[in-house]
């Protein structure tokens, strides 16, 4: 049977063991503790492996990182670009009609103000759209292929474009009504004729 003195000495000894500081081991001094691109952070009694931006901790490990596939998370606007996953990053490659303002953002190109449209200025007005442009036809022209061409309207196909005996002559962007010999254009009209006054 232990004496009370001995018992108190044992208790004192065990408590001082508990309080004794175990010197911290710096695991980060070992280059294999964390696997690149993870970086090692020493902590008291342990360590952490931190992943740089663009990476997450690899599942099932505590010292490895894996790339985040941003493309599977919809980081790019797929209407305007295609996503390219990169190690630790990603980029958005612009579709036709768009350009990068950052490697990750694509915006519409205004072909009209930049003067890189193909619209014929005689027959149309350039009109910008998101990702494209079109040529809005002036009066006298009809919309042609892809809304980027304007074709002359043949007004003479309309039998009442000119009133007999005027004859119709189609022109690019317009038409003319010509009067036969001995006739002149009726004042105030552009499609009627009247007999020329006798000389």
Instruction: Answer whether 51's CB lies under 8 Å from 23's CB.
Output: no
Write each residue from 43 to 82 as x if it is in contact with Ca ion (CB under 5 A), else as -, in one continuous string.
------------------------x---------------
Applying CB under 5 A, among 42, 64, 66, 108 the residue interacting with Ca ion is 108
Instruction: Answer whether 111's CB lies under 8 Å from 127's CB.
Output: no
Residue 85 binds Ca ion (CB under 5 A): yes
Write out the two tokens for 138: 């002036």
Question: Least CB distance from residue 192 to Ca ion, whole Å?
Answer: 19
Q: For the stretch 16-47, what's the b/e string if a residue is b when 16 or more beta carbons lie within 10 angstroms of its beta carbon?
A: eeeeeeeeeeebbeeeebbeebbebeeeeeeb
Q: Cβ closer to Ca ion: 89 or 192? A: 89
191: Cβ–Cβ under 8 A, 6 or more apart, which residues? 161, 162, 163, 166, 177
Residue 120 binds Ca ion (CB under 5 A): no
Residues in the interface with Ca ion (CB under 5 A) total 9
Quote the CA–CA distance of 114 and 144 in Å, as a whole number.
23
Residue 128 binds Ca ion (CB under 5 A): yes
Q: Cβ closer to Ca ion: 123 or 179? A: 123
Question: Least CB distance from residue 98 to Ca ion, whole Å?
Answer: 8
Quote the CA–CA distance of 91 and 83 in Å, as a whole number.
6
Applying CB under 5 A, among 152, 176, 185, 192 the residue interacting with Ca ion is 152
Applying CB under 5 A, among 170, 185, 191, 192 the residue interacting with Ca ion is 170
Q: Cβ closer to Ca ion: 42 or 143? A: 143
Part in contact with Ca ion (CB under 5 A); list of ranges 6-14, 20-28, 29-37, 83-91: 83-91
Quote the CA–CA distance of 69 and 57 in Å, as a whole number.
13
Write out the two tokens for 22: 């175990």
**Residue bearing tokens 């254009």:** 185
Question: Least CB distance from residue 13 to Ca ion, whole Å?
Answer: 57
The binding site for Ca ion (CB under 5 A) comprises 67, 85, 90, 108, 128, 133, 152, 170, 175
């Amino acid at each position: 049977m232990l004496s009370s003195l001995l018992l108190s000495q044992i208790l004192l000894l065990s408590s001082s063991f508990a309080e004794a500081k175990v010197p911290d081991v710096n695991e980060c001094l070992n280059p294999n503790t964390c696997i690149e691109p993870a970086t090692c952070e020493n902590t008291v009694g342990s360590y952490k492996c931190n992943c740089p931006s663009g990476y997450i901790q690899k599942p099932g490990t505590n010292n490895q990182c894996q790339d985040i596939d941003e493309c599977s998370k919809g980081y790019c606007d797929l209407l305007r670009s295609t996503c390219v996953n990169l190690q630790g990053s990603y980029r958005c490659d612009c579709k036709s009609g768009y350009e990068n303002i950052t490697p990750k953002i694509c915006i519409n190109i205004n072909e009209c103000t930049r003067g890189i449209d193909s619209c014929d200025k005689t027959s149309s007005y350039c009109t910008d759209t998101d990702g494209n442009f079109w040529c809005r036809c002036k009066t006298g022209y009809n919309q042609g292929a892809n809304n980027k061409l304007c074709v002359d309207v043949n007004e003479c196909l309309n039998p009442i474009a000119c009133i007999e005996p005027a004859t119709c002559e189609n022109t690019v962007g317009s038409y003319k009504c010509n009067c036969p010999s001995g006739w002149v254009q009726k004042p105030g009209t552009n499609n009627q004729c009247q007999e020329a006054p006798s000389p």
